[in-house]
């Protein structure tokens, strides 16, 4: 039988375990989260997948989030996807398809839309929930945070986050493996005033060395604070997400 100490040692040898403590970096990461969106909100987003041939495919999603660990999204278009919905509770994710008996379990590294965005990107929790700061530096007038995943369940082992020092908003995020290999890069562009004091990038573009010649774009059309009942974030409510739209 393995002792607790033995389990911890195995985790550390595997590269997992408590990240080096960096309270200032963690505070900046949490502030970045709130600068990107309220703690609980609703949003309308368009996702565009661009193939190397120039061919595109677009999706429109209505998204709701509550607190640090609950987020759901409803497909509004294209017609072939309309009525589908996704739900994330902490690290657990499901896809609901109309006329299918029950929601299907999905993983963070899969993608319900194809393209470069995976399910973890689409159903994003707060960065500070999933990552802890290890170190921080200043580069060409920007703040750069180096963060490590808190658990092995997170999609990316490490992130290098470059922030606008004044606004504490991300400019670029490199998503890396434990060995430091680049998985994808997220570019945050076109800062927009969404009202209610929320000023943040409205466009996120991503590219990956694993998908050469392909690019995916996420465009936020609306984003505002809104509170929801706990019931909204349950498997039984997934077919009813449309009722939340005003």
- Say which residues have a Cβ less than 8 Å from residue 239's Cβ, sequence separation at least 6: 83, 85, 96, 98
Helices within 104-226 (DSSP H only): 119-122, 127-130
Structure tokens belonging to residue 73: 């999204």
In 3D, which of 31, 67, 57, 32 has the Cα closest to residue 173?
Answer: 32
Q: What is the per-residue pLDDT across 3-30, written as a single tens digit (0 to 9) for each?
A: 434 433 334 334 444 445 788 999 999 9
Structure tokens belonging to residue 138: 């200043």
- For the chain, the first-to-last Cα distance in angstroms comes to 56
- List of E strands, the chain: 41-50, 56-66, 70-77, 85-89, 92-96, 104-106, 131-139, 142-149, 158-164, 169-176, 182-195, 198-207, 215-225
**Residue-level pLDDT at 148:** 96
Q: How far apart are CA 37 and CA 40, in angstroms?
A: 8
List the domain boundaries for the chain: 19-244
Q: Which CATH number fits domain 19-244: 2.40.128.30, 3.10.180.10, 3.40.630.40, 2.50.20.10?
A: 2.50.20.10
Q: What is the per-residue pLDDT across 148-181, written as a single tens digit (0 to 9) for each?
A: 999 988 999 999 999 999 999 999 999 999 999 9
Instruction: Round the average pLDDT of the chain to a whole number and report it.
Output: 91
In 3D, which of 128, 165, 118 has the Cα closest to residue 39?
Answer: 128
Contact between 52 and 212 under an 8 Å Cβ cutoff? The reply is: yes
Q: How far apart are CA 160 and CA 176, in angstroms?
A: 8
In 3D, which of 166, 94, 88, 162 has the Cα closest to residue 130?
Answer: 88
Contact between 137 and 144 under an 8 Å Cβ cutoff? The reply is: yes
What is the pTM assigned to this prediction?
0.88
> Which region among 81-85, 97-101, 192-196 has the lowest average model confidence (pLDDT)?
97-101
Q: What is the per-residue pLDDT across 200-230, written as a single tens digit (0 to 9) for each?
A: 999 999 999 998 999 999 999 999 999 999 9
Contact between 122 and 73 under an 8 Å Cβ cutoff? The reply is: yes
């Amino acid at each position: 039988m393995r002792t607790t100490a033995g389990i911890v040692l195995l985790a550390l040898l595997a590269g997992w375990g408590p990240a080096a403590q960096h309270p200032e970096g963690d505070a900046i990461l949490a502030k970045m989260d709130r600068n990107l969106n309220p703690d609980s909100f609703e949003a309308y987003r368009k996702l565009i997948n661009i193939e190397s041939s120039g061919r595109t495919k677009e999706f429109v999603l209505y998204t709701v989030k509550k607190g640090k660990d609950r987020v759901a999204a409803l497909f509004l278009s294209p017609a072939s996807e309309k009525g589908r919905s996704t739900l994330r509770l902490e690290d657990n994710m499901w896809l609901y398809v109309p006329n299918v008996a029950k929601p299907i379990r999905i993983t963070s590294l899969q993608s319900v839309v194809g393209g470069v965005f995976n399910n973890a990107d689409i159903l994003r929790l707060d960065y500070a929930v999933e990552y802890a700061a290890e170190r921080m530096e200043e580069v060409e007038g920007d703040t750069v945070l180096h963060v490590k995943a808190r658990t092995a369940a997170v999609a990316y082992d490490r992130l290098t986050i470059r922030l606008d020092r004044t606004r504490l908003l991300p400019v670029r995020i490199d998503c890396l493996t434990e060995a430091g290999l680049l998985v994808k890069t997220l570019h945050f562009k076109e800062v927009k005033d969404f009202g209610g004091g929320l000023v943040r990038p409205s466009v996120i573009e991503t590219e990956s060395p694993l998908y050469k010649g392909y690019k995916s774009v996420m465009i936020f059309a609306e984003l505002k604070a809104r509170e929801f009942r706990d019931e909204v974030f349950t498997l039984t409510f997934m077919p009813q997400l449309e009722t939340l739209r005003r």
